[in-house]
């Protein structure tokens, strides 16, 4: 299944994408693509529904029908740094001996076509196409052998990052990772049964039509089962939590000369089988409330 949330920001309704690429309304079945709906029992109940029996939503998704973040009420937005061998080489940094964990604030989450807002005083806003793993079955101290049983589905994420905030100021990476609009998520949540091989997904990102990132989950250092088991040592994982699993090479920081977003660009990215995102970038001077 491809589960999604559609409608105005803050008032999204749950839906699914049918075989014809049309949105079907699930609001009469579940209140949101969140919580219990993401558990194994919740997903099984949704699979049992014939999409043709659900109300058809007018409009074309990602065109004249806005899609919101594909998961609602996210409790934790966990990110993994330097998790692709070729990206670590690009960054001239050693492969970490354990997964690097940081956080994006859930207020950073936005839809797959919502504009990216460059924050005030930003000099180095960057892009990172990433595979998002959404937890469906909660747990703590999860065995790696059982970890995929805890996955509701996968999605596309752009781990937008302000590198000066992240690296050149004192403190943790988090301050450069969680600005508003820095977590585009979706377009849809693709349930795990639809993905043949998580370790062989092509991924890419363009800025103004120019290819910046080309990669594959095949070069991930720590694979998805290990990341789930590892994170669950330090926190309980709950339905709707997101783990963003790292990025391949081609980020602006790794280029020579470095290249960053200034505003006015269009960013397009995607992962095989999981859909695409496309949005404009707004300069800091266009921030809401600025005059």
Mind listing the pLDDT tens digit for each residue in 150-180?
999 999 999 999 999 998 988 888 999 999 9
CB count in 10 Å sphere of residue 192: 19
Q: In terms of residue numbers, what domain contains 271?
A: 71-286
CB count in 10 Å sphere of residue 230: 18
pLDDT recorded at residue 288:
54
Q: Which distant-in-sequence residues (6+ apart) come within 8 Å of 220 by Cβ?
A: 83, 84, 199, 245, 246
Q: Is residue 99 part of a domain?
A: yes
Structural tokens at position 42:
């919740």
Q: Is residue 163 part of a domain?
A: yes
pLDDT recorded at residue 86:
85
Q: Is residue 31 part of a domain?
A: no
Q: Is residue 30 part of a domain?
A: no
pLDDT recorded at residue 94:
87
Q: Is residue 34 part of a domain?
A: no
Q: Is residue 100 part of a domain?
A: yes
pLDDT recorded at residue 161:
98
Condensed to tens digits (0 to 9), the pLDDT of residues 50-101 reads: 999 999 999 999 999 999 999 999 999 999 999 998 888 887 778 899 999 9
Question: Domain total for the chain?
Answer: 1
Taking a C-beta distance cutoff of 8 angstroms, is the pair 243, 132 a contact? yes
Q: Is residue 46 part of a domain?
A: no
Condensed to tens digits (0 to 9), the pLDDT of residues 25-49 reads: 999 999 999 999 999 999 999 999 9
Domain containing residue 162: CATH number: 3.90.850.10
Taking a C-beta distance cutoff of 8 angstroms, is the pair 183, 174 a contact? no
pLDDT recorded at residue 99:
97
Which residue is listed with tokens 């919101």? 68
Q: Is residue 123 part of a domain?
A: yes
């Amino acid at each position: 299944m491809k589960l999604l949330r559609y409608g105005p920001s803050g008032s999204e309704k749950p839906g699914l994408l049918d075989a014809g690429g049309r949105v079907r309304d699930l609001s009469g079945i579940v209140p949101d693509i969140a919580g219990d709906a993401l558990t194994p029992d919740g997903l099984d109940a949704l699979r049992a529904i014939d999409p043709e029996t659900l109300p058809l939503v007018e409009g074309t998704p990602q065109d004249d029908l806005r899609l919101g973040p594909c998961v609602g009420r996210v409790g934790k937005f966990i990110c993994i740094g330097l998790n692709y061998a070729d990206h670590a080489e690009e960054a001239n940094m050693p492969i970490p001996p354990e997964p690097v964990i940081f956080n994006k604030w859930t207020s950073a989450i936005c839809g797959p076509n919502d504009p990216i807002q460059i924050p005030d005083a930003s000099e180095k806003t960057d892009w990172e196409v990433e595979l998002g793993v959404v937890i469906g079955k909660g747990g703590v101290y999860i065995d790696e052998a059982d970890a995929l049983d805890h996955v509701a589905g996968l999605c596309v994420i752009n781990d937008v990052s302000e590198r000066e905030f992240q690296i050149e100021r004192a403190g943790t990476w988090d301050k450069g990772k969680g600005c508003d609009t820095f977590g585009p998520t979706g377009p849809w949540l693709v349930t795990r049964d639809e993905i043949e091989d998580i370790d062989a997904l092509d991924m890419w990102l363009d800025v103004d039509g120019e290819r910046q990132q080309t990669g594959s989950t095949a070069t991930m250092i720590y694979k998805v089962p290990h990341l789930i088991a590892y994170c669950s040592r330090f926190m309980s994982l709950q339905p709707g939590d997101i783990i963003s699993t790292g990025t391949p090479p081609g980020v602006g920081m790794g280029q020579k000369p470095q290249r960053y977003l200034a505003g006015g660009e269009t960013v397009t990215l995607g992962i095989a089988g999981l859909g695409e995102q496309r949005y404009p970038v707004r300069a800091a001077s266009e921030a809401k409330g600025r005059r």
